[in-house]
Structure 1
Amino acid sequence: MTFVGTPGVTGAVMWDSGIVLGKFLEHSVESKTIILQDKKVIELGSGCGFVGCIAALLGARVVLTDLPDRLKLLKKNVETNLYGDVRGTAKVEELTWGDNLDSDLTHPCPDYVLGSDVVYGEEAVLDLMETLVELCGRQTTIVLAGELRNDAILEYFLEAATKDFIVGRIDQEQWHPDYSSPRVVMYVLTKKQK
């Protein structure tokens, strides 16, 4: 039996929420509700790199991040899929949530932080929140997508997030019309002004 937490497993799977988030970005740029051209984007828990690659193709300067044991596949996917005349840029960096961040991630603060299926356990939520607080500035918009699996963990995340962020849910009418799922939810977060 293989567990999702086993090194290398979670980063080697395409999750529905990643596809929904990637197509949401594409749809939002095409409908001009989001501008990614020349924007600094950090993707957390990039896994296979689908969302980060889409953001780079849409013109963003993307840093795709994940745990050390997941970087080899991530780098290969970025190199394989981003070549030729790409509007944006992409680089891969190691990032363990809860650890100190490299200054290139925080200076300047990113315009967008993206993540799909990053809310999966209480300990991970605490580390994720610590990283989001350190990573994000006043102008940063966070977009997180996730599959509805564990209501208790989702409630725990939302309660933790509302301490430092204004949290909103993105209505499915704003998603790509061909890529939606009743099992996926998307949230947008912005840092509270102190």
Structure 2
Amino acid sequence: MKFTDSPVIELSVNDTRLSFHQDNGSMHVGTSVWPCSLVLVKFVERWQTPPECAAGENPYADALNFSSKRGIELGTGCGVAAMGLYLLGLRDIVLTDIAPVMPALKHNLKRNKPALKKNLKTSQLYWENEQQLRSLNPPFDYVIATDVVYIEKAVAPLIRAMEGLLADDGVVLLGYQLRSPEAHELFWEMCEEFFQIQKIPHDHLHPEYAYEESDVYLLRKKKNSRNS
């Protein structure tokens, strides 16, 4: 894997700057940085310390309270969302992806270790692999997924992994962009079965990262999801 001539994406999270090498010559989409990961991190950053809200008026205060919580990212790619959320207080977090993407992820974790000040946990995960899912010791308070809906055949394993890994009172932090009409239709049809869906208004995104094509959703388990 060659990163020497790859474009670098930088992201400031509070007072810390993260820097991500992409490998755009790779055959795997996970070795590129996609906008939704940036949008999600900056949304969380904005509402953890919202200057325009008086105390008690932050609509996302409970959903974004990372204190003593566990998180896992699915399809973490270069690691943007997980590293950003770690800096925003989600300190117990596991970064997962398929084997071919792991070298890019580990390269970027090493690159950002001075900013992170520790080695974050990683695990190989194929969403349909029940043994790998169990080995992660769910449930998690947060399941993070950004720009992971682009192949129709992967939708059902993704939804099952999200539902199986998430605690009953947990939150899926989803960064979303339409990539495939077929995958899009199936994903939201299945989400309706398992999750309560809250779409974040675009004017609640970070003003510098409110891309027209990218959305943020908060998903919570429906009470009867385990019986569906």
Category of TM-score, reference length = shorter chain: 0.7 to 0.9
Instruction: Note the 1:99-114 alignment, pairs <5 A.
Output: 99-100=129-130, 101-106=133-138, 109-114=139-144
**What is the distance in 2 between the residues matched to 1:167 and 1:155?**
15
Which of 84, 108, 122 is equivalent to 1:92?
122
Q: Which has the higher contact order (CA 8 A, sep 6+)?
A: 1
Contact persistence 2:151–2:180 (CA under 8 A)? no
Name the structure 2 match of 1:64: 95
- The TM-score, its normalising length taken from structure 1, stands at 0.87
User: What are the ranges of 5 or more consecutive residues in structure 1 without an aligned counterpart?
Assistant: 1-5
**What is the distance in 1 between the residues matched to 2:115 and 2:175?**
29
The 3-state SS of whatever aligns with 1:130 is: helix
**What is the distance in 2 between the residues matched to 1:8 and 1:30?**
39
Contact persistence 2:83–2:116 (CA under 8 A)? no
Task: State the identity as a percent.
Answer: 31
Which of 107, 131, 153 is equivalent to 1:76?
107
Name the structure 2 match of 1:189: 219
Q: Displacement, 1:90?
A: 2.3
Q: Give the 3 Å change call, closer, same or farther, for CA 84–149 of structure 1 in structure 2.
A: closer
Name the structure 1 match of 2:28: 9
Name the structure 2 match of 1:162: 192
Name the structure 2 match of 1:37: 67
Higher Cα Rg, which structure: 2
Which of 38, 47, 54 is equivalent to 1:28?
47
Any runs of at least 4 consecutive aligned residues in structure 1 with deviations exceeding 4 A, and if so which?
A: none
- The TM-score, its normalising length taken from structure 2, stands at 0.74
Name the structure 2 match of 1:3: none
Deviates more, 1:117-126 or 1:33-42: 33-42
